[in-house]
Structure 1
Amino acid sequence: MKNSVLLISLLLIVSCKKAVSSQEKQTDSVIVSEQSSNALNSDSAKVKVNNDTLMKQNVKSDTLLNKQNGEAVKLIDGEKLPSTLEYEFTDKIQKLIVRITNYHKAQLKATIIPENNQMNIRFNQIKLKDGQYDGPFGREISYKISGKGEVWLIIGKNLMADGENTGRFSVRIE
């Protein structure tokens, strides 16, 4: 009896210490396809833009690129809004930070318009002039801003949904 208990416990210990193959180590433990059903309808809905009501003005902005983090920073003067900014994600993990200086309006409205509607992209966060962050949001944001200062819009992939991580898109800021 004592020998059989010892043998069973030894087998349990050996089976629990099974080596994990390198292929198993590289896989992610999050199953994105199950989580995509929890996404808001506004995140995946097609964004329609009426060109008659929006004045298209492409912004010439300064771009700072930090390849180490996959991060790009665009600087825009808040006095030149409304405007449209165009950008492209070429890597799976990238983010775009739109820094709006001299923002003085009471409400910030912005929309992401991807060329491919299946693109996995959203406003991840907004950074207010007092340094506070809020988010996440969908492809559209309407946020009350108090006072004048610099506002950041941080755009990246939605970790809770699936879809293309690369592609061209426009950001309409009002």
Structure 2
Amino acid sequence: MKFFLMPLLFLFFFSCQQKENKNTVVKTSQPVMKQRHENNTEENSKENKQIGDTIFMNFKDDKGLFTAEGSLDSIPSRVYVKFKNDDTGELNGKITPSTGKGNVRFNQIIFPDKTSDGPFGIDLKVPIQQKGTYILVIGHSQMADNPFLGTFKVELEIKK
């Protein structure tokens, strides 16, 4: 009996061990990482584009408007529009679906002090009294049929 128990215990202990992860780590110097980060921020500051589920509004056009194109691609999808504001005034926003009409709207605005307001429609007029980063949540209206799937254009203007 002893002889049968020993090989079973031996097999049990060696089968439960995890294999060693042999990932190699390549160290890069700080200037290389800093240069990549600077190049990435320069690219983001030249145009407003959607990355994942977030649109970073970093660049104003000739008219002083933040404009970008975004897309909703699934039913529970939301798009977050982030922009930084240094002045007080009024925020005017407009969503234009590529199909002309669609069930898409400004669901919520999140202020820099983490308070929020909403829901709104495809047009937005909100007084801005704080400096900092604002987040607009764009999505479907939960009260309407036919969720919007497709692309849209967002325009934001800050009037002083």
TM-score bracket relative to the smaller structure: 0.5 to 0.7
Q: 1:61 aligns with which of 44, 48, 52?
A: 48
* Alpha-carbon distance in structure 2 between the residues aligned to 1:165 and 1:79: 27
What SS does structure 2 have at the residue aligned with 1:126? strand
Structure 1 stretches of at least 4 aligned residues deviating more than 6 Å after TM superposition: none
**CA positional deviation for 1:149:** 1.1
| Structure 1 pair 131–60 and aligned structure 2 pair: CA distance change class (3 A) | same
**CA RMSD of superposed structures (Å):** 2.0
Q: Which residue is equivalent to 1:84?
A: 67
After superposition, the C-alpha distances for 1:83-111 in whole angstroms (9 at most, x for unaligned) are 21111222222111001023424100000
1:122 aligns with 2:109: no
Separation in 2, partners of 1:88, 1:157: 12
Which residue of structure 2 lines up, in the alignment, with residue 162 of structure 1? 145
Count of aligned pairs: 110
Instruction: Give 5+ residue unaligned stretches, structure 2.
Output: 1-45
Is the 1:74–1:99 Cα contact (8 Å) retained in structure 2? Answer: yes
C-alpha displacement of 1:137: 0.4
- Cα distance change of structure 1 residues 116 and 62 upon mapping to structure 2, 3 Å threshold: closer
1:74 maps to what in 2?
Answer: 55
Q: Is the 8 Å Cα contact of residues 111 and 135 (structure 2) preserved in structure 1?
A: yes
* Larger Cα-atom Rg: 2
- Tell me the residue number matched to 2:127: 144
Compute the TM-score of the two structures, normalised by the length of structure 1: 0.57
